Amino acid sequence: MAIFQGAGVAIVTPFHEDGSVDYEKFAELVEFQIQNGTDAIIVCGTTGESSTLTHEEHLDVIRFCAKTVNGRVPVIAGTGSNCTETAVYLSTEAEKFGVDGLLLVSPYYNKATQKGLFEHYKKIADSVKLPIILYNVPSRTGCNILPQTVVKLCSEVHNIVGVKEASGNISQITKLAALAQGKIDIYSGNDDQIVPILSLGGKGVISVLSNVAPKQTHDICAKFFAGDVEGSCKEQLRAIELCDALFCEVNPIPVKTALSMMGKCGGTLRRPLCEMEEANVEKLRNAMKNYGIL
């Protein structure tokens, strides 16, 4: 059984102006998601600025999220690292907090070989009992987990069950789906490719869009699974302008700016991320208005 099916939000980590984690706003964001039908919460991923959290903050945010959600929807903790031992540490600690699964990004910067990726993931998986979703995002990591490697990992390591595919390469994802034969949970990592990946047998999306439009993102998936493919496609296409605007600068700069416009949290980012260019702010504002969330 999949950890979740549908739209999981890759939730932001809100900060006070001094850069500390704003737990009050974080709790409000969690409630906003649950009240609007999100199917899972993915905490401390790329969108959550995990790379600029200290290990203590990283684990505190995961613990707080799990406690706040309190079993109402699955919580998946981002505990990946380019250092295998660090990923083992974060994963084993997160398991103690009662999360439902782990999301493990491929090692960044050091760019492991496919053999190295297998050994990296197997060591982490062997350290925990939780189900694991691999996270393939080569545009940010410089490292592509090939379909054959994903299949080998899911076949030989019992608790590696799926992959968040954010390569953007539909041909690669199609090959993965063919090799997987329905035995691997595939999630879209790109909000503009939800329906195409669902049509290949995907289980859902791990979504940036869902931060600002949780009900609508949920509905894209729910309509598809209910057999309303036309309605699902219509919702997907309606969201394309907003999806483009949410990635007109590096994630999570635009989505935090959008949440600030909505009054959901401040737009404070940790360096080296910085505030949006004004022209892109206007592009984002117009897209949100056209989508009906501003």
Q: Which residues are catalytic?
A: 135, 164
What DSSP string describes 29-50? HHHHHHHTT-SEEEESSTTTTG
Q: Which residue type is seen at 98? A: G
Q: How far apart are CA 125 and CA 113, in angstroms?
A: 18
Cis peptide before 254 (omega within 30 of 0): no
CB 26 within 8 A of CB 64: yes
Burial 73-95 (b: 16+ CB within 10 A, else e): bbbbbbbbbbebeebbbbbebbb
Tally: H helices and E strands in the chain: 13, 8
Burial 148-186 (b: 16+ CB within 10 A, else e): ebbbbbbeebeebbbbbbbbeeeebbeebbebbeeebbb
CB 280 within 8 A of CB 248: yes
Q: Which two tokens stand for residue 180?
A: 């997987």
SS3 labels along 107-127: CCCCCCCHHHHHHHHHHHHHC
Half-sphere exposure in the Cβ direction for 89 (13 Å, CA)? 10
